[in-house]
Amino acid sequence: MIRSALINVMVAAARKAGRVLIRDFGEVEQLQVSLKGPGNFVSAADRRAEEILHIELSKARPGFGFLMEERGRIEGKDRSNQWVVDPLDGTTNFLHGIPLFAISIALVKDGTAVAGVVFNPVSDELYVAERGRGAFLNDRRLRVAARRELTDCVVCCGIPHRGRGDLALFRKELAAVQERVAGVRRTGAAALDLAWVAAGRFDAFWERGLSSWDLAAGLVIAREAGGIVTDLDGGDEVLDKGSVIAGNELVHRALIAVLTAA
Ligand code: IPD
Ligand code: CA
Ligand code: CA
């Protein structure tokens, strides 16, 4: 795979921030056993990774704006290009020493996500995609799973956090889906969930109540792997609505019907 200059910039930034997260993850594993616990340390890790991403991406593309989970929106001189960044997706996993988390970087051009990088530094799995150029995992071309029947499918979901989101609705949806599929999973890192749909590990993924930094990079990756990715009303407002459903065309259609009827 020949990477564009843009993807090279994104990958270099992700790898640099990944080194910091790996070092801090090692610390968390130690702090896990201490009474103080790793809570504050984790938010510091988050901020450290975000700072590196901000510095590296600004250096490479001065003028581009930012939307970052910790810093919020930073306007750039260039009004059309914006980096949408989650420096640590899967914070709860990170905090508990579970090696399932990722750095997520997307480039959004005039409101459309056009490039995405999702990097899990523990497994060294680097997912990249650029609009019209395909999706790759460590240079291997990705394609969503080809299963046709929901009964054969492993479906990933997101569970609303305590006190947030519509838990009653989620429970209804889960009950409906669980009866129809081979298995349901919850990883706790939405960017990876979409990347895993792209890699054919999950046949589908749905979640509500997400933010654009959770979704923008994974969205490009899943679409470039041939997936259909929409909001839960079946439209294209994934980033604005923060709701998502992804899978191959048949599975996407079948799952959205189950969820709508729930
Ligand atoms: C969270 C993860 C999780 C999803 C949450 C997100 P964070 O992001 O993506 O899978 O269910 O809603 O907020 O907080 O770990 O960056
Ligand atoms: Ca996130
Ligand atoms: Ca985060």
The DSSP secondary structure of 196-235, one letter per residue, reads HHHTTSSSEEEESS--HHHHHHHHHHHHHTT-EEE-TTSS
Cβ of 121 below 6 Å from ligand 1: no
Cβ of 188 below 6 Å from ligand 1: yes
- Average pLDDT (140-166) is 94
Q: What does the pLDDT read at residue 28?
A: 79
Domain ranges of the chain: 5-141, 150-261
Q: What does the pLDDT read at residue 36?
A: 59
- Average pLDDT (231-245) is 98
Q: What does the pLDDT read at residue 164?
A: 82
User: What mean pLDDT, rounded, does the chain reach?
Assistant: 94
| Residue 9 pLDDT greater than 70, yes or no | yes
**Topology (CATH level 3) of domain 5-141:** Fructose-1,6-Bisphosphatase; Chain A, domain 1 (3.30.540)
Query: Which ligand 1 atom lies nearest to the CA of residue 193?
Result: 10
| Residue 43 pLDDT greater than 90, yes or no | no
Q: What does the pLDDT read at residue 2?
A: 80
- Average pLDDT (10-39) is 83
Nearest CA owner, ligand 1 atom 12: 210
Phi, psi of 12, rounded to the nearest 5 degrees: -60, -45
Using alpha carbons only, how large is the chain's radius of gyration in Å? 18
| Residue 34 pLDDT greater than 70, yes or no | no
- Average pLDDT (19-45) is 77
pLDDT digits (tens, 9 = 90+) for 60-104: 999 999 999 989 999 999 999 999 999 999 999 998 889 999 999
Query: How much of the chain exceeds pLDDT 90, in percent?
Result: 86
Cβ of 91 below 6 Å from ligand 1: yes
Q: What does the pLDDT read at residue 35?
A: 58
Confidence of residue 39 (pLDDT cuts 50, 70, 90): low
CATH of domain 150-261: 3.40.190.80
231, 126 Cβ separation under 8 angstroms: no
- Average pLDDT (215-242) is 98
At 73, which helix (H) or strand (E)? strand 72-74
